Amino acid sequence: MAADRDADRAAAPRRPPEGGSRFGSASGRRWILLGITLAAVLAALTLDASLSGLVPQKGGTELVLRFFARALRPALDYESEVPDGTAPLWMAALAAARRTVVFAVAAMSLALVGGVVLGFLGSSAWWAGAPRGGNGAVQRAFYRGFAPAVWAAARVLIVGMRSVHELLWAVLFLAAMGLNNVTAVVAIAIPYAGTLGKVFSEMIDEAPRDAALALRASGATNLSVFALGLVPRALPDMWAYAFYRFECAIRSSAILGFFGFPTLGYSISASFENLHYGEVWTYLYALCALVLGVELWSGALRRRFVA
């Protein structure tokens, strides 16, 4: 009989616990879906976004067809006359891909340094769990006033850095300092450092606390608890996210080429403006191969670090 009652209870539908969130129920999800739908409709009405805007203008259809017709026939040589001694097209594509990687590596190197520092300062784990009493006035002032102020300043700086897209940073630096490679690197590094700092700080704050609690119970200092109990637990995820951001930096580096920096984007833009669609597809395939190669490489490294 007891077994029958247990089977009946297992088969009976389970009611949500009292006091649970209404949004976890079916009716709550329907309200969320309705709100999202209404927001999408209002956005479309506000922007006056009609399907007629997707109709190509005069000559647009022919241009699109000509462009995609070359997708299966990328250029193997330049489609116009070039000076004697010019490197072959495939070598130019490889050189542009190499410069794209160099820009991305330089930008990520700066972004990682800034992201680690901001991730530490923007995390509350290095000060929030410390005893507030302390052994003296200096220690009490540090944990009650100075540390929270540093944390708040770091969070504000992170928001400011990541709120401005790298393209806008590039426009600002181009206007202020002209076209040079440093401006492209810094334009990518600033928002990436802010993004890394935000994610790193959250990963540290959300890391498992078992080792940290054991260290604190044994009498370890707060810095030891943070460095030995929290950071090692968050480090694999931090590495994995850094590799993902490097993939994004490759694409950002290519996009900055449309501003005149010598990456694959510059080659694509120049060929497109001259209606050399075969060359465009050659450079596009080089970019796709580059992104795919970096993705496979970083994916293998992520699996190694996270495993």
pLDDT along the chain (307 residues), means of 10: 46 46 66 86 76 73 88 91 87 94 95 94 76 59 77 93 91 88 93 95 86 76 77 87 91 92 93 93 95 87 71
Q: For residue 300, what pLDDT is reported?
A: 82
Task: Write the DSSP assignment of 261-281 as a string of letters.
Answer: -SSHHHHHHHHHHTT-HHHHH
Domain with residues 89-306, CATH architecture: Orthogonal Bundle (1.10)
Q: So where are the chain's domains?
A: 21-51, 89-306
Q: For residue 205, what pLDDT is reported?
A: 87
Q: For residue 134, what pLDDT is reported?
A: 53
At 224, list the tokens: 């030891």
Percent helix, strand, coil in the chain, to 5, is 75, 0, 25
* Side-chain-side CA neighbours of residue 33 (13 Å): 7
Residues 6+ apart with CB under 8 A from 172: 187
Q: For residue 145, what pLDDT is reported?
A: 74
Decide: 192 and 105 in contact? Cβ < 8 Å: no
Distance between CA atoms of residues 205 and 198, nearest Å? 11
Distance between CA atoms of residues 193 and 185, nearest Å? 12
**Interhelix angle 231-255/181-205, nearest 10 degrees:** 150
Query: For the chain, what is the largest distance between any 2 Cα atoms, rounded to a whole number of angstroms?
Result: 94
**Count of beta carbons in the 10 Å neighbourhood of residue 56:** 11
List the one residue out of 152, 154, 151, 132 whose CA is nearest residue 141.
132
Q: What is the CA radius of gyration of the chain?
A: 27
pTM: 0.79
Q: For residue 17, what pLDDT is reported?
A: 47
Task: Return the SS3 of 78.
Answer: coil
